[in-house]
Structure 1
Amino acid sequence: MTTQSQDFYSTEDFPSVPKYDVHTHANIPGERLIDFSKSNNFKLLSINLIAPGFPSLDEQLSISAKHLHNHPADFAFAYNFPVDDWEEEDWPTMTTARIEHARAKGAVAVKVWKNIGMELRNTSGQFVMIDHPKFDPVIAYLVRHDIPLIGHLGEPRNCWLPLEEMTVSSDRSYFEAYPQYHMFLHPSYPSYDEQIRARDRLLEKFPELRFVGAHLASLEWSVDELAGRLDRYPNMMVDTAERICHLQHQAVTEWRKVHDFFITYQDRIMYGTDIVDDGNENDESFQKRINAIRQRHWQFFTTADEMEAPKVSGMFRGLHLPRNVVDKIYRTNAEKTFFSR
């Protein structure tokens, strides 16, 4: 074997290399997502979430605790707190108590979702953003206990465009299916820039917060913009969940820029997919689908192959990242952030 081949992985290495998927939703008591993932050397972080089509938060917490008990070396989970009782005066105290309960069950992180900024309103009808002072005691609690906060705040910039102008087909499909989140249809709602600025103000207010920007921190459209935030906020990490197609879209015309971004920020990026197991797919189809997604991503990160992807218009080349960079994105960054806690 040559020195060059030793410095890079190949597609054949995919099943044997230890890896983590830090953004999944194992929403059913059955363990097939865990088992299928383990067959390709993946450990999982599953994220509880109050979202359409998901079980209740209590059910998700119970399911996650069971999975953790059965697979302590291969599974971890994050908790999402409710905001339906936001107007209660003691909401911060109730919320920290909920987080403490989830931590006692094994939660290693907390998630905030786009309902903050897109759905939650105060009694005056104004949208509540993530930098609202009422969140401060909860965020301070996370800082005090060194608990990572995973933030899906805002949406892809495509969300504020008409369907025909969106850059990747997955966004067109999602926002056509969920028009309540398609902000182009809701011009009175906070803008994309307002969502991003609120998140940035939170990080400025709490510089010691261990923050993970889910979905490339909703800056998926520009590695330059994302690099600027990573430079500005040294405790910020990001995951790639459901946004790798946006990197591939950029690689069609700016391959070098995308490649160099991963080299420069190799310690700040974690691999994630946003795979959901809701039980609505037979085992064979589910396994085939998730393996195809992960193998295509592996090809993009590890090889120099000319590629195409279902969600992207145009050919692009794989990033051919060195082995040590791939190990950080797929394993060691996740271990430091979630799995060593």
Structure 2
Amino acid sequence: MRRWATFLTLASTVALTAAAPAAPVYSEADFARVPKLDAHVHANRDARDFLRVARKDGFELLSINVDYPDFPPLATQATIAYKMHAADPKRFHFATTFSMDGFGGKDWTAQATRAVDAGFAHGAVAVKVWKNIGMIAKDTAGKRVFLDDPRFDPIMAHIQARGVPLIAHQGEPKNCWLPLDQMTTDNDRTYFSEHPEYYMYKHPEEPRYEQLMAARDRFVARHPKLAFDGAHMASLEWSVDELASFLDRYPNAVVDLAARMSQVQVQSNANHAKVRAFFLKYQDRLMYGTDLTDSPPDPKARAQNPPATGNFAKEADDNWRSDWRYLATSLSQPIAAIKADAPGLALPRSVIDKIYYSNARRFFHLKG
């Protein structure tokens, strides 16, 4: 019944949109002059290249520290974030995190609390939890840990008391549980081919997609006053209807679009009006993000999502301009990840301003 109600609401929005006069939209030429904020990046290199290209293209950045084996150690990520924030506090923001090492032990909560407080002391505006919770991490007794585990309650209460949002990457794209030839995007095929430890189709003994989403939903329901950012479209990137239902159920939640634009484009190519209506209806709950990652050069580095090219400044500029063309204009463009052209959504300027800037600044309590 809830899905049917969501469908009817989206359908009525489509009808109203079709009947309404066209709102002013931006052009490609407006890209660099409009204030924007990429609310999901990873600055893993002690260099100013990321800030330079962000400044040129009119972006602020939210860099997210995460306990990811392909990234530098957490202490190194923290040092880089502190330095870059100090160098340009109005343009470079960051999220801190904590390690899952020793979870379930008597000292873990105190250690996690010290870790996030150190980040807050240096200016962190959010805390990140990663997909290792649910997919990898085990407690000191060797049992798999899920986000709804009540042993997280003290650290979450501490984060909430500080008035800081939680960013949660839970699960993976639904493609992760499909054979390669059934995946909807090439970027997912490449990423999971090179990260078999996260490719759940190859691990039927591991938790299913539905289990991970259910644990995440129980967590959000149990912490209704904790501001919650579902990273990567809350891993509901495959269906704007499912994402609409999630947002309707949990008013404390927002989502970012990081590394999931191609899945949105698959849907808009199938039903352009419905996807555009979704963006219009939930314009206050969506934040632009890319997952762009500036890491030290590594000849053995595996595929990232979005793909790394070896020329980071061009990679960032190309990603940002492609997404702007899709979201802000009606122009079509070839999208390699889906082997098709994707016409733009031409969202009104007021909606673009929210998704690209004001939603993130409000949600993360950014000043200045």
Q: TM-score range by the shorter chain?
A: over 0.9
The residue number in structure 2 matching 1:166 is 183
Per-residue deviation, 1:287: 1.5
Report if the CA contact (8 A) 1:76-1:339 is conserved: no
Report if the CA contact (8 A) 1:249-1:313 is conserved: no
The residue number in structure 1 matching 2:358 is 332
| TM-score for both structures, normalised by structure 2 | 0.89
Secondary structure of the equivalent of 1:267?
A: coil
Equivalence map 1:201-216=2 (5 Å): 201-216=218-233
Per-residue deviation, 1:302: 1.1
The residue number in structure 2 matching 1:240 is 257
Letter paired with 2:241: D
The residue number in structure 1 matching 2:36 is 19
| CA distance in structure 1 between the partners assigned to 2:213 and 2:32 by the alignment | 37
Letter paired with 1:55: P
Deviations 1:107-138 (A, max 9, x none): 11000000000001235543210000110111
2:319 pairs with 1:293: yes
The residue number in structure 2 matching 1:102 is 119
Per-residue deviation, 1:307: 2.7
Letter paired with 2:148: D
CA gap of 1:84–1:284, structure 2 versus 1, over 3 A, is: closer
| CA distance in structure 1 between the partners assigned to 2:111 and 2:67 by the alignment | 17
The residue number in structure 1 matching 2:55 is 38
Letter paired with 1:273: T
Deviations 1:242-301 (A, max 9, x none): 001110011111111110000000000000000000132999932222111110100000
The residue number in structure 2 matching 1:92 is 109
Per-residue deviation, 1:6: 7.8
Report if the CA contact (8 A) 1:20-1:42 is conserved: yes
| CA distance in structure 1 between the partners assigned to 2:73 and 2:32 by the alignment | 34
2:81 pairs with 1:64: yes
2:94 pairs with 1:77: yes
Secondary structure of the equivalent of 2:293?
A: strand
Per-residue deviation, 1:211: 0.3
Per-residue deviation, 1:316: 2.8
Secondary structure of the equivalent of 2:336?
A: coil
The residue number in structure 2 matching 1:144 is 161
The residue number in structure 1 matching 2:339 is 313
Letter paired with 2:355: I
Per-residue deviation, 1:310: 1.2
Secondary structure of the equivalent of 2:346?
A: coil
| CA distance in structure 1 between the partners assigned to 2:342 and 2:255 by the alignment | 23
2:294 pairs with 1:274: no
Moved more, 6-15 or 210-219: 6-15
Deviations 1:189-208 (A, max 9, x none): 11100000001000111101
CA gap of 1:283–1:188, structure 2 versus 1, over 3 A, is: closer
Gaps in structure 2 of 5+ consecutive residues: 1-20, 299-307
Q: Give RMSD over aligned pairs.
A: 1.7
Letter paired with 1:287: A
CA gap of 1:138–1:180, structure 2 versus 1, over 3 A, is: same
The residue number in structure 2 matching 1:132 is 149
Equivalence map 1:189-204=2 (5 Å): 189-204=206-221
| CA distance in structure 2 between the partners assigned to 1:97 and 1:167 by the alignment | 41
Report if the CA contact (8 A) 1:96-1:138 is conserved: yes
Report if the CA contact (8 A) 1:114-1:152 is conserved: yes
Gaps in structure 1 of 5+ consecutive residues: none
| CA distance in structure 1 between the partners assigned to 2:236 and 2:191 by the alignment | 18
Deviations 1:50-107 (A, max 9, x none): 1122111111111101101110110100012100111311311221121111110111
The residue number in structure 2 matching 1:252 is 269
Provide the aligned length of Structure 1 versus Structure 2. Answer: 338
